Amino acid sequence: MSRAASATKSGPMAAQPASTNKTRIHVIYYSMYGHIATMAKSVVKGVQAAGAEVRLIQIPETLSQDVLTKMHAPEKDKSVPTITFGEAGENTVEFQDALTNCDGILLGFPTRFGGMPAQVKALWDATGGLWMKGTLVGKPISVFFSTGTQGGGQETTTLTSLTNFIHHGMVIVPIGYSCPLQTNMSEIHGGSGYGAGTFAGPDGSRQPTQLELQIAEHQGTYFTQVATALKIGRAAMPPKDANPPDPKQDAEQPKTERPPSAKT
């Protein structure tokens, strides 16, 4: 079976049986100084407000503890399970499970020179097997982010991440300007039509504001509504294996003559 055929039969685009199960959303994030972790918790609130099941998962660190100490990075939140590329154990989630066992993914990360950091790239670099099977085809995904400054990559960070999702055939869900707070000009705030965002400041001392957290919560709700609509629509689709009408067979059927119209 070709990769394309496998994707249509087993991926999210395959017709699913009708189900009363709640939409399941995974909020996956990487955070070094805690800004994205804080944003992620607001995103989770938004997902819950939309009535979905949600799981908060963090991407593992690749830097050594010695380096993190020199960078004054705080400890990670041990209450949040961490993705593992090996067999899942206590408080860990196998990476394929994190990406596939859900109806949609909200992905949060800080910028690194206008793109996603190496920790997040390592996760997507490990998805070659999923790509071969077309497992992520049609799965909705949305991004939220943080930068050090206003011109530090709020939009380029998102744009440069999209290639990963596009190659997987995922459904990219930006928030557009669906939240009125995005046009609030009374204070400096992160985020754009690409997704919710925050500014950490050059030294990381600035924390997400209430306005930024409200936009993040909105993103969680809005994304979940879109993911739920896709789930319901796919459940209503006819099975892919259903036999379509055969035009050739129809052409071979004898045609009945129309009776002559009565003359008046």
Q: How far apart are CA 122 and CA 170, in angstroms?
A: 18
Q: How far apart are CA 68 and CA 177, in angstroms?
A: 37
- What residues have CB less than 8 Å from 114, skipping those under 6 apart? 152, 153, 156, 157, 160
Q: What local confidence, expressed as pLDDT, does residue 17 receive?
A: 38
Residue among 51, 111, 48, 38 at smallest CA distance from 77: 38
Q: What local confidence, expressed as pLDDT, does residue 1 receive?
A: 43
- What residues have CB less than 8 Å from 232, skipping those under 6 apart? none
Q: How far apart are CA 168 and CA 131, in angstroms?
A: 6
Model confidence pLDDT, tens digit, residues 52-65: 999 999 999 999 99
Q: What local confidence, expressed as pLDDT, does residue 263 receive?
A: 54
Q: What local confidence, expressed as pLDDT, does residue 237 receive?
A: 87
Model confidence pLDDT, tens digit, residues 93-137: 999 999 999 999 999 999 999 999 999 999 999 999 999 999 999
Residues of the chain with pLDDT under 50: 1-2, 4-9, 14-20
Cβ pair 204, 35 in contact under 8 A? yes
Domains and CATH numbers, the chain: 14-252 (3.40.50.360)
- What residues have CB less than 8 Å from 241, skipping those under 6 apart? none
Q: What local confidence, expressed as pLDDT, does residue 8 receive?
A: 44
